[in-house]
Amino acid sequence: MRTGPVLPQHLVIVDHTQALVPIDPADSRKGALHVTEPGILSALTELFEQAWNTAVPLGATRAEDPATGLTDTERELLRLLGSGRTDEAAGQRLGLSSRTVSRYMASIMERLGASSRFEAGIKAAQRGWL
d(CA 104, CA 96): 10
Would the pLDDT of 35 be above 90? yes
Q: Please give the distance of CA 3 from its chain centroid, rounded to a whole number.
A: 11
Instruction: Give per-residue pLDDT as tens, 116-127.
Output: 988 988 898 898
Contact present, 109 and 124 (Cβ < 8 Å)? no
Instruction: Select from 2, 22, 1 the least CA-distant residue to 11.
Output: 22
Judge whether residue 50 has pLDDT over 90: no
- List helix spans (H) across the chain: 38-54, 72-82, 87-94, 98-112, 117-126
Domain with CATH 1.10.10.10 in the chain: 72-126
pTM summary value: 0.51
- CB contact at 8 A, 32 and 64: no
Q: For 69-85, what is the mean pLDDT?
A: 86
Domain covering 72-126: architecture: Orthogonal Bundle (1.10)
